[in-house]
Amino acid sequence: MSGRSRDGAGLYDDPDFLDGYRHLRRTGQGINDELEIPAMDAVLRTLPVAGARVVDLGCGEGGLAVRLAKAGAADVLAVDASQQMLAAAVQHPRVRYQRADLTTFDLPPGSADLVVSSMALHYVENLDTLLARTAHWLSRSERKHPPGEAGSPPAARVVVPGGAEARPIEREPASSWGEAPRVGREPSSSGGEVTRVEREPSSSGGEVTRVGRGASSGGGEGLPRAGGALVFSVEHPVMTAAVAVDCGVDDYADEGRRERTWFVEGVVKYHRTIGSIVGSLRRHGFQLELIDEPLPTREQAAAHPHLAIHRRRPPILLVAARRTS
Ligand SMILES: C[S@@+](CC[C@H](N)C(=O)[O-])C[C@H]1O[C@@H](n2cnc3c(N)ncnc32)[C@H](O)[C@@H]1O
């Protein structure tokens, strides 16, 4: 079909699109199994998932929601607009599925400890308002039983794809979420504040950039007790901008709606710069904890030739942030 636009909320119920997408996922030809899922799980393993009330935005068939439930989350509310995706979703006693459009979906303040989203938020036109709502759900002052406090369930295991690296999640104080960044001062590109940046190997063979802010928390001392955490992956802004055949990036500064052909014509996605995403997070009271760009190693690209293109430009942006109040 041509000449038709397909918004994210209805896209995954389009039979032509869904056939292509499911084939991609079934055959492992996408970026999910090799790049996105391992990187997402590496971040989630550093969080006190046990006992947490989790919300998964754009859950699809529930892979991430079920991994978190198996890791000990007390309750996972998994939200998606697609009837077809939800109809095929994997069932788990602690996962509740809800059909809703993320454009308007809302929850009471303080009702979540952890919000996650895997490769869905680039379909949402107004990310800023969604992040504003998310900040309220994660509001620390209104959360009843922060994980890691007395009364929360015991530690559980995170199931890592492949199973080999599974390790227990400690019921640790939430303030030890992630590793404290080592101090290294440089000018911030997003507002002139001092930002600490540390590069280290990432789960995916690339590097993780850990970012910490503020002048008084060097080495992690003085970090506030963690509020609720937000972890999400999106199509990398380099991809959503416009990528020419030669892999050059174009129109990066022009944020907003894009129409792309992906199995079908007219697939609508929304481009935002990294600075704009970070700015929205900060505006709504989030402290940025980590930015990762999962990339294939040379070995992965050799073993899975469909990944080779992703060494030329990053396919995924993975962000972790937390509410501090
Ligand atoms: C690429 S899939 C990812 C699914 C799942 N998170 C995963 O990683 O397997 C994107 C999902 O976002 C959902 N989605 C897109 N736009 C949405 C919207 N406005 N409201 C709710 N769900 C939406 C789609 O229905 C689809 O299931």
Residue 94 and residue 156: Cα distance in Å, rounded? 14
Nearest one of 108, 52, 135, 54 to 324, comparing CA atoms: 135
213 strand-pairing partners? 195
Tens-level pLDDT at each residue, the chain (325 residues): 457 999 999 999 999 999 999 999 999 999 999 999 999 999 999 999 999 999 999 999 999 999 999 999 999 999 999 999 999 999 999 999 999 999 999 999 999 999 999 999 999 999 999 999 999 999 977 655 544 443 343 333 233 232 322 233 233 333 232 333 332 333 333 333 322 333 444 544 444 444 333 222 222 222 233 459 999 999 999 999 987 777 689 999 999 999 999 999 999 999 999 999 999 999 999 999 999 999 999 999 999 999 999 999 999 999 999 998 7
200 strand-pairing partners? 208
pTM metric for this prediction: 0.79
The verdict on the CB of residue 30 being under 6 Å from ligand 1 is no
Nearest one of 72, 8, 48, 60 to 173, comparing CA atoms: 48
The verdict on the CB of residue 38 being under 6 Å from ligand 1 is no
Ligand 1: nearest atom to the Cα of 32:
8
- Output the 3-class SS for the chain: CCCCCECHHHHCCCHHHHHHHHHHHHHCCCCHHHHHHHHHHHHHCCCCCCCCEEEEECCCCCHHHHHHHHCCCCEEEEEECCHHHHHCCCCCCCEEEEECCCCCCCCCCCCCCEEEEECCHHHCCCHHHHHHHHHHHCCHHHCCCCCCCCCCCCCCECCCCCCCCCCECCCCCHHHCCCCCCCCEEECCCCCCEEEEEEEECCCCCEEEEEEECCCCHHHCCCCCCCCEEEEEEECHHHHHCECCCCCECCCCCCEEEEEEECEEEEEEEECCHHHHHHHHHHCCEEEEEEECCCCCHHHHHHCHHHHHHHCCCCEEEEEEEECC
The verdict on the CB of residue 124 being under 6 Å from ligand 1 is yes
- What is 8-323's CATH number, 3.40.50.300, 3.40.50.150, 3.40.1350.10, 3.30.365.10? 3.40.50.150
Residue 24 and residue 259: Cα distance in Å, rounded? 20
Question: Which tokens hold the place of 179?
Answer: 């590793």
Residue 132 and residue 127: Cα distance in Å, rounded? 9
Task: Tell me what pLDDT residue 294 has.
Answer: 98
The verdict on the CB of residue 102 being under 6 Å from ligand 1 is yes
Domain boundaries of the chain, sorted by first residue: 8-323
Task: Tell me what pLDDT residue 244 has.
Answer: 72
CA of 5 to the centre of ligand 1 (A): 17
Choice from 57, 80, 95, 106 to test ligand 1 binding pocket (greatest atom count within 8 A of CB): 80
Ligand 1: nearest atom to the Cα of 124:
19
The verdict on the CB of residue 39 being under 6 Å from ligand 1 is no
The verdict on the CB of residue 82 being under 6 Å from ligand 1 is yes
The verdict on the CB of residue 97 being under 6 Å from ligand 1 is no
Residue 212 and residue 232: Cα distance in Å, rounded? 18
Question: Which tokens hold the place of 103?
Answer: 């454009």
Task: Tell me what pLDDT residue 192 has.
Answer: 32
- Exposed e or buried b for every residue in 108-133, given b needs 16+ CB within 10 A? eebbbbbbbbbbbbbbbbebbebbeb
